[in-house]
Amino acid sequence: MDDDSLTIPHRGRELLDVLARLGGSARNTQIAQIMDVSEETVRRLVKALARANKVERVHGGTYLSRAQDTPMFSGALEYNADEKTNIAKHVSGLLEDGMVLFIAVGSTMTHVAEQLRELRGLTVVSNSLSVVASLADHNGTRAVLAGGEVIRSERGSFGRAAEELACQYSYDAVICGADALSLVGGVLASNPLEANLTRALRGNAHRMIVAADHTKFGARAANVSCPFDKVTDLVTDLVPPDAFVPVFDEAGVKVHIASDNGTGNNKVAADTRLEKVASRKRDKNREATKGKAVKSGSRKRKNTMKET
């Protein structure tokens, strides 16, 4: 019997097992869901495990402390956690019981999965280990893992096998995050395998919902996941930069601004600004078209005068 079995209580060992199954890190909410305990119980267990140097604590999450088990994903869970929670709540509000969904990998998608536990009878296909762990056998949800090669830092599976399984379904919505949102490329991903999977699913979905916080606007990544004209909905936490608004308008992307109050004054102000920017762009286009028409008419009159 090792020393840990003597010093760490049963629930503590169970929590460590949950973290190991999820690849080394998870949101505390997710741990509580899997262990079927309160978040307060999880926080108490995490504090004890942290004192024993078994885990490290981050805002709203926990990860295994041994260097070889500390994943890149743990930092993403902590970063902009409140904003991602608001975004996830708004995404959940766009969906209904009984839908068939694909949910991609990423820390924002982990937040989305937590919020989707309120819905019933979903069929969720995902290549994310944390998404499947959150939703499997809860409220009648059927969770399907799109298996393939597991990339630990991404907490997901990728490759041809994952794509082939995921493409067998017709989805009410495909929900994905973004490493960057580009005026040129659209929705971008750093991982080419992630981009390949998103591209493969574009033709299988009635809606393509992108959930990304404001830090993704103008960021850089190498691989195109989805051009904006294939995106139906973008859920973010702040109004996009002015340069993006007419691009979204032209591509037909519906932009949703998620805030703490959801439908309060912040959202109204955001919608007003989006419309004003888009309206200015339309006015400029009309003026440019009118200017071209005037120049064309002037040239025609000059040509007519020369002929006479």
Domain ranges of the chain: 3-74, 81-266
pLDDT given for residue 246 in this prediction: 96
pLDDT given for residue 70 in this prediction: 45
The closest of 119, 132, 101, 141 to 26, measured between CA atoms, is 132
CA 79 to chain centre: 13
Structure tokens at 250: 């032209």
Give tens-digit pLDDT for 19-33.
877 767 788 988 898
Q: What dotted CATH number matches 81-266?
A: 3.40.50.1360
Outline where the chain has alpha helix (H): 3-7, 10-21, 28-35, 39-51, 73-78, 81-93, 107-116, 129-135, 160-166, 192-201, 244-251, 265-307
Architecture per CATH, 3-74: Orthogonal Bundle (1.10)
Name the 3-class secondary structure at 8: coil
Give tens-digit pLDDT for 35-72.
889 999 999 999 999 998 899 888 888 888 764 444 44
User: Which is it for the CA torsion 254, 273, 237, 94, positive or negative?
Assistant: negative
Residue 295 CA to residue 272 CA, distance in Å, equals 35
pLDDT given for residue 20 in this prediction: 78
pTM score: 0.73
* Chunked mean pLDDT (size 10), the chain, 308 residues: 60 87 80 89 93 87 66 53 92 98 94 93 95 91 93 87 97 97 96 96 96 96 97 97 97 92 49 58 62 60 58
Are 112 and 175 contacting, i.e. CB atoms less than 8 angstroms apart? yes
pLDDT given for residue 243 in this prediction: 97
* Geometric angle at alpha carbon 62, from 133 and 195, rounded to 5°: 55
pLDDT given for residue 22 in this prediction: 73
